[in-house]
Amino acid sequence: MNTEHYTRYEKARIIGARSLQISMGAPVLIDDQNTNSLYLAKKEFELGVTPITVKRNFDK
């Protein structure tokens, strides 16, 4: 899914969850020397390599 289709709440949740994963020792998927987990999670999201997806239920 392209990053422009996420709501701001989904984006915040994805970046927050990925930041926590990185801070707990998950491998970083980009080549960057920065050690700030939030910065790395944002960069991964911007580059479209975040390994997190959003499931939406359209049956209402």
pLDDT in tens, 14-38: 999 999 999 999 999 999 999 999 9
Residue 7 covered by a domain: yes
Residue 52 covered by a domain: no
Rounded Cα–Cα distance for residues 5 and 36 (Å)? 26
Residue 59 predicted with pLDDT over 70: yes
Length, in residues, of the chain: 60
Residue 41 covered by a domain: yes
Domain range spanning residue 18?
Answer: 3-47
pLDDT in tens, 32-52: 999 999 999 999 999 999 999
Only one residue has tokens 């990185």, namely 22
Q: Which of 6, 4, 53, 44 is nearest to 22 (CA)?
A: 44
Mean pLDDT, the chain, whole residue set: 91
Residue 43 covered by a domain: yes
Residue 56 covered by a domain: no
CATH classification of the domain holding 28 = 3.90.940.10
Q: How many domains does the chain have?
A: 1
pTM of the model: 0.85
Residue 16 covered by a domain: yes
Res 47: pLDDT: 95
Are residues 40 and 19 in contact, defined by beta-carbon separation less than 8 angstroms? yes
